[in-house]
Amino acid sequence: MAYKAGYIALVGKPNVGKSTLLNTIVGQKVSIVSDKPQTTRKKVVGIATTEDYQIAFIDTPGIHEPHTKLARAMVDQARASLDEVDLILYVADGSHHPGEIDQQIAKLIVSPHQKTPVLLCLNKMDLLKAENVERNVSAYTSMFGTEEYMMTTATRGHNVDRLVEMLVSHLPERAPIFEDDEFTNQTSRFMAAEFVREKILHATRQEIPHSVAVTVDTWEEEGNLTRIEATILVEKASQRAILIGKQGEFIKTIGTKARTEIEALIGTRVFLQLHIKVSEGWRQNPRILHELNYE
Ligand SMILES: Nc1nc2c(ncn2[C@@H]2O[C@H](COP(=O)(O)OP(=O)(O)OP(=O)(O)O)[C@@H](O)[C@H]2O)c(=O)[nH]1
Ligand SMILES: [Mg+2]
């Protein structure tokens, strides 16, 4: 059989499991995951290669109602991906009936101007009550105008292989686009910053997750040691105090957890130094968003 390859955009609401699905299929953590909505901020390319196919997935920020310049940039990133791909996989929380935002996204991707085929992944099947299966499946399939769907539990890898089979059957015959050992297009620097941000998302609640950005300022390789200095940007002095914690314990724990993952990623020992900077309203500041590459 001829080789199949192509780009697939993962689109959906925040927190439905797009990044979890991507990491499971690629077999590596290429996109950070948390229970906080709007975890993914920039589109991420994750590549899955086998002897029969290669899929370059574009993981996009969840589409929602944008209230800040950062959020608007995130929604634009997701929208812009639609034209660049061979297929769109709409990922939904299948345990919930579709709502207003699903309806709005459906209008966006099932319009006459939009020619890319749409397939459905109804995730979080583990949370789906048996009596709601038919009702939810028919609501999503009719809303997105497709009978091609798969129910999955991304966290347990359940049905993910069948989902991939469904996707591959719709891909064009094409030679591989990327090298077979490439699993992402992101730089190690960017992934390191994301790992730090993920540890902060996991350890904090309320407004902090949305107020945080991370930049890598220096990256020096000395033999088997990589020295990394990164800055955590927050919006208020009170958030800075929370992140530092009693006697600096909080930030220390974040650093240790992130360092372990960065070491696994780049394969050297890592010395990670974290700084915290208060920058009021950075999410509305075009200059800072530009510096963070969020536009
Ligand atoms: N119960 C259950 N939880 C899941 C499943 N898939 C993902 N999750 C959880 O849902 C939360 C959100 O997962 P993400 O992969 O970050 O979701 P996302 O769609 O990428 O979210 P954004 O980046 O914010 O748009 C995490 O806590 C995951 O562990 C699933 O199949 N079942
Ligand atoms: Mg995500």
How far, in Å, from the CA of 83 to the mean position of ligand 1?
25
C-alpha to C-alpha distance for 116 and 101, rounded to whole angstroms: 20
- Residue 238 has what pLDDT? 95
Q: What is the pLDDT along the chain (295 residues), one digit of tens a residue?
A: 799 999 999 999 999 999 999 999 999 999 999 999 999 998 999 999 999 999 999 999 998 888 888 888 888 888 888 888 999 999 999 999 999 999 989 988 888 888 899 999 999 999 999 999 999 999 999 999 999 999 999 999 999 999 999 999 999 999 999 999 999 999 999 999 999 999 999 999 888 999 999 999 999 999 999 999 999 999 999 999 999 999 999 999 999 999 999 999 999 999 999 999 999 999 999 999 998 888 7
CB of 49 closer than 6 A to ligand 1? no
How far, in Å, from the CA of 239 to the mean position of ligand 2?
23
- Residue 65 has what pLDDT? 82
Query: Which of 10, 13, 19, 20 should be mutated for ligand 1, with most atoms under 8 A from CB?
Result: 20
Ligand 1 atom with the shortest distance to the CA of 37: 24
- Residue 295 has what pLDDT? 74
Query: Nearest-CA neighbor of 144 among 107, 181, 177, 176?
Result: 107
- What angle, rounded to 10 degrees, do the helices at 100-109 and 133-144 form? 40
C-alpha to C-alpha distance for 198 and 190, rounded to whole angstroms: 12
Query: Nearest-CA neighbor of 3 among 145, 167, 173, 121?
Result: 173
How far, in Å, from the CA of 16 to the mean position of ligand 1?
5
Which residues are placed with Cβ below 5 angstroms of ligand 2, an ion? 18-19, 39-40
> φ and ψ at 87, to 5 degrees?
-145, 150
Sign, Cα dihedral of 283, 287, 292, 295: positive
Query: What is the DSSP annotation of 62-73?
Result: PP----SHHHHH
Query: Which ligand has the shortest distance to the CA of 18?
Result: 1
Contact (CB, 8 A) for 141 and 6: no
How far, in Å, from the CA of 154 to the mean position of ligand 1?
8
Which residues partner with 219 through β-bridges? 228
Domains observed in the chain: 4-169 (3.40.50.300), 188-291 (3.30.300.20)
Residue identifier of the C-alpha nearest atom 14 of ligand 1: 17
CB of 24 closer than 6 A to ligand 1? no
Query: Which of 38, 155, 159 should be mutated for ligand 1, with most atoms under 8 A from CB?
Result: 155
Residue identifier of the C-alpha nearest atom 16 of ligand 1: 33
How far, in Å, from the CA of 4 to the mean position of ligand 2?
26
